[in-house]
Amino acid sequence: MKVIDHLRKADRTLFSFEILPPLKGKDIRSIYEGIDPLIEFGPSFINVTYHREEVIYKEKGNGLTQRVRLRKRPGTVGICAMLKAKYGIDTVPHLICGGFSQEETEDALIELNFLGIDNVLALRGDAIKNEAHFTPERDGHAHAVDLIRQINGLNRGKYLHEEEQEAAPTDLCVGAACYPEKHPEALNLNVDVAYLKQKVDAGAEYLVTQMFFDNAKYFHFVDLCREAGIMVPIIPGLKPLTTLKHIAFLPKTFRVDLPDAFANELVKCRSDLEVKRLGIEWCIAQAKELRERNAPCLHFYTMGRSEAVRAVVAAVL
């Protein structure tokens, strides 16, 4: 079933979560171990992230270097197919602009359609670690809105090459990302919302937010979107903090602020256990308020660990 159909048919706030493909060398069992503790709560869908290959430069001597591409996580599409077969739960593969030409994007979409995976989250993706700015592939997409247009073109039977114009159309539900505290590259939040409307106008049927820790910012963001004419469901993304490392890593990496009340308690923590306790308590409070105010779905970023998310969901649903 499509995500948008789950949302339209729901008479309550739904629950979903996101996982990362395992690191190179691990098998599918590491995925199952993270998902099994959450299955009893009946997630409506599971997102599976996509990760670009990393590029490193090896010294070869005589002043020469070799550019080497590394792939550290296995294929998102295969994981989605396996999860859907094992659990009977709809999966949402992430598809990014970075690293894909338009032809490679089309091939990926055809494969998803063939496997009966009828959802995709369309993202631009990040720059390669060694690059200061995002650079698209030759003949690739520079922006998520262009990727969304291509996906919806295929949904209308519009393929890249003329000889394929009679091919059957796909039937993919397209989601997109949004940022209650604005995208890091946006001039301001209003400009970001204007760009977001372009993605919705191009065919995004629902939106999933970056993680946030201040519900007031989410509610304000939803109001701005509605005022701008963005009427699709906006799913809040949540992440319970669980380690001292998270306190420094998450705000810096994802460009999110921590509310004063939360931050003032976090700075007192001296162990991962203390952070985890506080992080779960804060996330439970967030989730309860969001549910009381009829958020369409609570979407949890597990980052490969389900214990804290399970504690939150058990207390809320």
pLDDT tens, position by position, 261-287: 999 999 999 999 999 999 999 999 999
pLDDT value, residue 138: 86
Q: What is the mean pLDDT of residues 5-30?
A: 89
Mean pLDDT of 7-16: 96
For all residues of the chain together, what is the average pLDDT? 89
The pLDDT of 302-314, averaged and rounded, is 92
Q: What is the mean pLDDT of residues 2-27?
A: 90
DSSP the chain: --HHHHHHH-SS-EEEEEEPPPPTT--HHHHHHHHGGGGGG--SEEEE---PPEEEEEEEETTEEEEEEE--S--HHHHHHHHHHHH--EEEEEEESTT--HHHHHHHHHHHHHTT--EEEEE--PPPTT-SS--PPTT--SSHHHHHHHHHHHHTT--SSGGGTTSPP---EEEEEE-TT--TTSSSHHHHHHHHHHHHHHT--EEEEEE-S-HHHHHHHHHHHHHTT--S-EEEEE----SHHHHHHHHHHHT----HHHHHHHTT--SHHHHHHHHHHHHHHHHHHHHHTT-SEEEEE-TT--HHHHHHHHHH-
> What is the pLDDT, as a whole number, of residue 167?
77
Q: Which pLDDT belongs to residue 4?
A: 98
- Which of these ranges, 20-24, 37-41, 71-75, 114-118, has the smallest mean pLDDT? 71-75
Note the pLDDT tens digit of each residue in 203-212.
999 999 999 9
User: Can you give the CATH number for the domain in which 101 is found?
Assistant: 3.20.20.220
Say yes or no to pLDDT of 136 above 90.
Answer: no
Residues 19-54: pLDDT tens digits? Answer: 988 877 677 888 898 899 999 999 999 999 987 766
130 vs 179, higher pLDDT = 179
Mean pLDDT of 211-219: 97
Confidence of residue 68 (pLDDT cuts 50, 70, 90): low
Confidence at residue 67, expressed as pLDDT on a 0 to 100 scale: 57
User: 57-66, 133-142, 228-237: which has the minimum mean pLDDT?
Assistant: 57-66
Residue 180, domain extent: 3-316
Q: What is the pLDDT of residue 317?
A: 85
Task: Tell me: pLDDT of 251 over 90.
Answer: no
List pLDDT tens digits, range 161-196. Answer: 866 556 789 999 999 999 999 998 889 999 999 999
Q: Tell me how many domains the chain contains.
A: 1
The pTM for the full model equals 0.91
